[in-house]
Structure 1
């Protein structure tokens, strides 16, 4: 197989497991004071093997630690907080020279896999991805390593990110946790410069546990001795668990409040109040890095303004204007994030001052979450924000009748029998709002075309949400 970008994508795809382990994890509720708990495991933790694989690649603990890593976890807002941290450090670096090169590792991607590994606001090029991919692949899958356990998809991508950032000699790197924290593949980082926790909520309960305290236990597993930990405000139960874990790990924990130096805006990524908190968290993390690595430097109001003005996070609180219509896209896929997305949509629509049709495009198909509950949460949130859509379109994750329009989509959405789930969604929405026009489309392409037709005469405000698969597919069309 020739070492091409296309073949690298095919090899990477081969490392995806067909399904999660079926054996259910078992948990006990942590004691609210000691945070002790029996944490059951479901399958082999993704952290297992990471250190050994890095050593096979020739990367010591010191090589990883020298990346000056900021490690971020939580339930809602990890990606945007990482993007804000990157943007703040990059703006500061443009003015001062440090950090000159900032790496960013996040997941999942929306349009192409290279989005997951970025340097200075840009995904790495196809050439660099291909070169570093095969350096890692040949070392871990080549001759002489047949009897060595080999990494799965997300483990491989994390290894590729470490390898890329070391080769590219970045001055700082921001790593988003894949899932949880304690047993996550990214938790091979032994000495981050700082760790951060965004808003916690109940999600992935089969893996993280039935109680919010279980979730907090897992997430705060990234805390490390000597690395200051920061968090947005949390509820009392999980906050106490986090404090106990910080004490156990020998580090400080600071719950950040909204920073007055963050600009107040009505639209964009900071148009939602929680994003101001996420930006405040990003500031705390950025300042912690500078205190350790460049103690004579300070982040200025100009740095913050430049960072906020330039930050973008595809598919998260994103607005695209096409003709007379505006498209509002957010990959919200849990109750916490859907409520925030509805609030963001409402504030942005009001800011336009236009009274044109509102259209919702929704899809959610998952074994891990109750799609009906998510749809009902969204309907309630839109109603509470006085932003009920006149038109509602339910669809699948399939982009076109022929399949995907993207070569390196990689993410394989779960299959769905159309119109089964869509009929359930449609029936429930019609009961919730009998005045709404409710329809179903078998593909994302057709759902977008129906929305375009609605806005053809006078325009429309079109809200696309419910899944990153849906938003990624929509962006593939809207950016073409």
Structure 2
């Protein structure tokens, strides 16, 4: 069937068939790890490296290394803040473009998506259209003709490369999925500039169990042809990153908070976001220095870039006219503390505070437990708490879970368990639960009516946050893809 006969919904349904439950086992990565000085820290890593096959699949699409390099790529790795850094970088360049005409067209590839899969692939300051996504999606599906096919994130990265090449962008900003050295996006051989955001322990099964392991992988995006920048890091990871930069013959520069950033925007109210923005400003300025030396980011560009920052589910505030909803995809302890700090700085002590919090992959509900325990540690006053779960069209229940919970009772069981344990941890709080996000949000809204408005803190995994945002501000033009995750959430209290 010709691509023209397919539609956007066909693309979404086919994309879901690419999802897999777990990384395929392949001991080959261990032998690759033995070729670098971090051998002792990389033993036991599992899975087929995501980088494998990317070059060949791009060639199947008709794209050479030169085609990729001509995208003038800004490559960003890190644990937290990658999406914000990429978006700030895009905003600075877009503001500069409006003022000067360059860069004419900007591509941005970030993840995860919250309300719509097309959020991952943007041109200028908006997701690609349904028609564009559909057209390039089915061109990308040429890989089905081969024996080996891309996995989900590999496919999306290929789709981004393909879209940006076909659309002739002047600069492409690529966010690493996870890691760096073996990540699918590291098929980029000659970026213009690279950057690394804050580091923390993530994907330890693939990347290793120490920050030094993580740093080694993230610094894998460094290339001999490209200046490298990072936000300040702890001493151990910092030295590993410097060593990797030296291997490439480049100097790694650590970027402090830039005093040129405005102070009157809530998105920059916490130090980590100011660091992300400072790194982004450095990346944008370095890009322009290399490509058009006579162009400079102006004070007006900086102000407009920050003012127009919008990234679904990241330090986002939704005002429904009655209550304020502070939304962030905090789903690890580090990001949770940062989000709680942001919420605390922007709430009114005279207004009842709530928090809709903590969604997580149902295969590891214990991680949600750790997260809401961290939420308790950052709570300053007693308040209201509501636990809920992310409702999904399709759920993958592991065989272990089927032995413990029947699928129809899993959500309510987790809600009840967490509600009981929270109440035991802080008896002062009013704790309730509902297994569906719709009803939990409705309950929060009712609280807002009875209390003359609330300030709600919404945190959790992208799927849970996406469902909340679809309720708070429905976007009928965006068609979300099916999600496979279940999470735990709560509505809480005022935070320090």
Q: TM-score, normalised by structure 1?
A: 0.90
2:313 equivalent to 1:299 = no
Shift of 1:357: 1.6
Bigger shift: residues 276-285 or 422-431: 422-431
Find 2:143's aligned residue among 140, 143, 157.
140
RMSD (Å) for aligned C-alpha atoms = 2.3
- Write the distance in 2 (CA, Å) between the matches of 1:106 and 1:413: 28
2:368 equivalent to 1:371 = yes
Aligned to 2:171: 172
Note if contact 1:266-1:347 (Cα within 8 Å) is conserved in structure 2.
no
Aligned to 1:308: 306
Q: Deviations over 1:220-257 (max 9, x none)?
A: 11111121111000000000100001111222200000
2:442 equivalent to 1:445 = no
Q: TM-score, normalised by structure 2?
A: 0.87
- Write the distance in 2 (CA, Å) between the matches of 1:53 and 1:301: 42
Aligned to 1:394: 387
Shift of 1:146: 3.8
**Partner SS state of residue 462, structure 1:** strand
- Write the distance in 2 (CA, Å) between the matches of 1:25 and 1:266: 48
Note if contact 1:359-1:392 (Cα within 8 Å) is conserved in structure 2.
yes
Find 1:431's aligned residue among 424, 445, 456.
424
Shift of 1:317: 0.6
- Write the distance in 1 (CA, Å) between the matches of 2:25 and 2:391: 26
Q: Deviations over 1:366-414 (max 9, x none)?
A: 3467221111112212x2xx3x461111111106xxx48xxxxxx9899
Gaps of 5+ in 1: 405-410
Change (3 A) 1:37 1:258: same
- Write the distance in 1 (CA, Å) between the matches of 2:102 and 2:396: 39
- Write the distance in 2 (CA, Å) between the matches of 1:450 and 1:306: 37
**Partner SS state of residue 389, structure 2:** coil
What count of residue pairs does the alignment treat as equivalent? 455
Note if contact 1:325-1:461 (Cα within 8 Å) is conserved in structure 2.
yes
Q: Deviations over 1:298-343 (max 9, x none)?
A: 1111110010111111101111111321111101111110000000
Aligned to 1:130: 134
Find 1:14's aligned residue among 3, 14, 17.
17
- Write the distance in 1 (CA, Å) between the matches of 2:146 and 2:125: 37
Map 1:211-226 → 2, pairs under 5 A: 211-226=210-225
Map 1:332-411 → 2, pairs under 5 A: 332-349=330-347, 353=348, 355-366=350-361, 367=363, 370-381=367-378, 383=379, 386=380, 388=381, 390-398=383-391, 403=393
- Write the distance in 2 (CA, Å) between the matches of 1:363 and 1:297: 44
Find 2:57's aligned residue among 53, 61, 80.
53
- Write the distance in 1 (CA, Å) between the matches of 2:91 and 2:327: 21
Shift of 1:21: 3.9
**Partner SS state of residue 18, structure 1:** coil
Shift of 1:266: 5.6
Q: Deviations over 1:267-298 (max 9, x none)?
A: 2x212111111111001111111111001111
Gaps of 5+ in 2: 399-406, 475-496
- Write the distance in 1 (CA, Å) between the matches of 2:41 and 2:338: 33
Find 1:290's aligned residue among 273, 288, 291.
288
Shift of 1:75: 0.7
2:77 equivalent to 1:78 = no
- Write the distance in 1 (CA, Å) between the matches of 2:108 and 2:265: 27
**Partner SS state of residue 346, structure 2:** helix
Shift of 1:110: 0.6
Note if contact 1:45-1:184 (Cα within 8 Å) is conserved in structure 2.
yes
Aligned to 1:407: none
Aligned to 2:233: 234
Note if contact 2:77-2:196 (Cα within 8 Å) is conserved in structure 1.
yes
